[in-house]
Chain A
Amino acid sequence: MTDTPNHRWLDDPILTVEHLTMRFGGLIAINDLSFSIGRGDITALIGPNGAGKTTVFNCVTGFYKPTEGRIVMRHGKGAQEAAVAQATESGEKWHRDAGGAVFLLERMPDHEIAQRAKVARTFQNIRLFGGMTALENLLVAQHDRLMVASGYSIGGIFGLPGYRRAEKEATEKAVYWLDKVGLLDRADGPAGDLPYGAQRRLEIARSMCTDPRILCLDEPAAGLNPRESAELNELLRYIRDEHDTSILLIEHDMGVVMEISDHVIVLDYGEKISDGDPAQVKADPKVIAAYLGVDDEAEIDVPEVRADLSSARKEGEA
């Protein structure tokens, strides 16, 4: 998919982060960060180590409460300015109307973000339920729907047919995703026994079982070999095209980033230094400086020195 001339993240944003600041004591991990993510885009969040990428993820998915800022998730077309303003004024966590729904993620606890706002995530260090089978992992992900179907366990204890039907559907969905990630043969084996690459794929399948509108992947290609990386790209494209799910990913593998992203946001020291389509970002001198150092000091290739230089440069510019 090629980028459209008028950028989707400006016209039809699914997620908007505005003036996000996160302080841990005296440390400012993210400083006044704003960006938007387009509906149906694959957006990459990149930056050197310690730039604050995972902190942004944790704020978006509710694992951290941001110190300042607003994070808006939108179901339904367009920016829905009026609904966002109304929700912000009213002090509610979300606002629903005929055009869709807006969710103010900074006000919601983590499980509600997954359940209602439909934001799913994976983790940098894989967090599967190792002692449960692959199939069980995917069934746990459909907890909320099954819980309602089981009459909050009361109907389920008596084995009411409604629950049995719902469980069958849930199993079918799990089988569908196991098939998609090529783990159908391992469905009845423990997730903790799978090889690393398969665990990563299973974690993505598990997040997809929550029917997310946006899928946040924290370094999905870390530790994968080139063939597995290529398969991952294929899977992510499939998810975006066939399941109406936008993807936000953190990635260090520039091959993956440049190949599949529609939109790239570059962070450094908790601030956005570049934002645009992959070609723009690749050509941005600030990004080159942050990653490679500036031209005349190109021979210096020590990461610390590079980081020092880039910060000094930034200060000079400021």
Chain B
Amino acid sequence: MASTSETAGTGTSGAVPQPERETRLARALRESVIAAGLTAILGFFFLALRTEIETGGLVLSTRWGLWLAAIGIVFVGRLALNLFVFGRLGATTRRKPATTGAGFPVAKVLTWGLLIFAIVLPFFFTIVFPQRDRQYIDLAILIMTYIMLGWGLNIVVGLAGLLDLGYVAFYAVGAYSFGLSAQYLGFGFWTALPLAGLLAASWGMILGFPVLRLRGDYLAIVTLAFGEIIRVVLLNWTDFTGGPNGVSGIPKPTIFGWELGRRDGSFNDLIGVPYDPIQRFIFLYYIIFGLALLTNFVTMRLRRLPIGRAWEALREDEIACRSLGINTRNTKLSAFSIGAMFAGFAGSFFATRQGFISPESFTFLESAIILAIVVLGGLGSQIGVVIAAIAMIGGIEVLRNLDFLKAIFGPDFEPTQYRMLIFGLAMVIIMVWKPRGLVSTREPTATLREKKRISSDVVAQGEGH
């Protein structure tokens, strides 16, 4: 089948190549004109004309520049799409081979490059952007937190194929276990960190039990509900959690018991280095960097262990797993609880970074963003999560600072208002262009002779799809 259509395709284009191209250009131009015309008609009332309330009634004002700019963008965009994108699609029915051999190791170079950059990042920013270093390192901390959360959720969604929409609940459990243990028991960050992980893991198990039998959409809905339950309990249990007022005064992390600061007996006093607020940011950055690396290391190791293979097998076919003697209950619960544990660590870090937590920080939107990072990065891919987290969290921040757009759309234009729109558009484009995420190949966990990456065509997406 494939070969016949392929030869037919090459046959026609080979026989009459010249007219084909001309008609393609003509067609592209015609379609661009049509698209621009439609924009002109639609945009006339929305963009070109504008009613403004003034004394004595409505006054009609015009914005021809904006209208023409919109028409121009649509015309050029459509022309470019027609010439460079649409023409290439559907020309042949060639199927990509399911395994791709070792070419230039882009992923490897990228991984090491990013890792080295991450190690030197605080010094890079303090040297290159001395004025804005605090802002940039704070952003790096935020991105690193999401990378860690993405890696944690990747265990549940990417490897085990269990669509979890309530992942932020475990983040909240981690944050509140530190916040409350600091408030009531006077725990410090390093004491509370393992406790937060442990509590989040047990909650993962508690919430995992009832949903064991559910699959796909039903699982997603129930985990979503559990995420909300945790948030609503935190919001309403005012006596214990402080309700909407949250928990404040959460201690900062110490270095082996010494605080960073100016006071006598602080770490700075001990080593004799004058205190600078930036040091606190750098310290926080290295904590979350270490935690994220731990998450990555454990995940990569687990993937190569029987438990990790069982997670992936579970994603591929649960019934076959049971026929091979794999206890699917324990396997699912281990995925839930290990994923939750890392969210607990991240939550505890979040609490110490902010110094204040309230249920506001743990809404469904957070779960959605973490899930979007995992899906965008490619299910099960570690480096994909990193790129997606940088693109999403960093991208939102970049959109806040796009001042040059004001030059195009006038001084009233506020890019922040459009950032979710642009962000949504970018998601749609990526999902059309790479439906299985940025890194869509799967790396085998064991090889006999030659390591071949497996194309996403044959890899199951799990129960959530």
Q: Which residues of A line the B interface, CB within 8 A?
A: 61, 63, 110-115, 120-121, 123, 127-133, 135-136, 139-144, 146-147, 150, 152-153, 156-157, 159, 163, 171, 175, 184, 187-193, 206-207, 210
Contacts and interface: CB of A to CB of B under 8 A. Distances in A.
A147 B302 CA distance: 11
Nearest to A112: B325
A193 B458 contact: yes
B49 to A, nearest CB: 55
Contact of B313 (A114, A129, A159, A188): A129
Given A131-B454, A187-B449, A110 B323 contact: yes
B252 interface: no
Given A123-B319, A131-B454, A143-B325, 6 more contacts: A114-B324, A129-B316, A131-B456, A131-B458, A140-B313, A159-B301
Interface residues of B, number: 42
A210 to B, nearest CB: 6
A178 to B, nearest CB: 8
17 contacts: A63-B323, A111-B326, A123-B319, A127-B323, A128-B320, A130-B316, A131-B456, A132-B313, A132-B454, A140-B309, A142-B306, A143-B326, A188-B99, A188-B451, A189-B452, A192-B98, A207-B323
A228 to B, nearest CB: 22
Nearest to A203: B320
A140 B305 contact: no
B306 A188 contact: no
A147 B323 contact: no
With most chain B CB atoms within 10 A of its CB, the pick from A61, A136, A140, A171 is: A140
A156 B305 contact: yes
B378 to A, nearest CB: 13
A157 B308 CA distance: 11
B38 interface: no
Nearest to B444: A133
Interface of B: 98-99, 298, 301-302, 305-307, 309-310, 312-313, 316-317, 319-328, 334, 442, 444-452, 454-460
Most buried by A among B446, B452, B456: B446
Given A111-B325, A188-B452, A157 B305 contact: yes
A189 B312 CA distance: 16
Given A130-B459, A189-B452, A143 B310 contact: yes
Nearest to A62: B322
A130 B99 CA distance: 13
Contacts of B321: 111, 140
Contacts of B456: 131
A108 B346 CA distance: 40
A140 B312 CA distance: 9
Given A130-B460, A132-B313, A150-B305, A188 B323 contact: no
B324 A141 contact: yes
Contacts of A123: 319-320, 323
A159 B298 CA distance: 12
A61 B323 contact: yes
A63 to B, nearest CB: 7
* Residue from B301, B312, B328, B444 with most neighbouring chain A CB atoms (10 Å): B444
A139 B446 contact: yes
A132 B306 contact: no
B324 A143 contact: yes
Contacts of B316: 129-132
B448 A187 contact: yes
A121 B325 CA distance: 11
A193 B99 contact: yes
Contact of A135 (B319, B334, B447): B447
Contacts of A144: 325-326
Contacts of B447: 133, 135, 188
A152 to B, nearest CB: 8
Nearest to B460: A131
A111 B302 contact: no
B324 A153 contact: no
A133 B442 CA distance: 10
B324 A206 contact: yes
Nearest to A127: B320
B458 A157 contact: no
A299 B444 CA distance: 57
A180 to B, nearest CB: 15
Contacts of A121: 323
Contacts of A111: 321-322, 324-328
A34 to B, nearest CB: 25
Contacts of B322: 63, 110-111, 114
Contacts of B98: 189-190, 192-193
B458 A188 contact: no
Contact of B99 (A128, A135, A150, A190): A190
Nearest to B459: A131
Contacts of B310: 140, 143, 147
A153 B302 contact: yes
B450 A188 contact: yes
A84 B448 CA distance: 44
Contact of B307 (A128, A147, A187): A147
A146 B298 contact: no
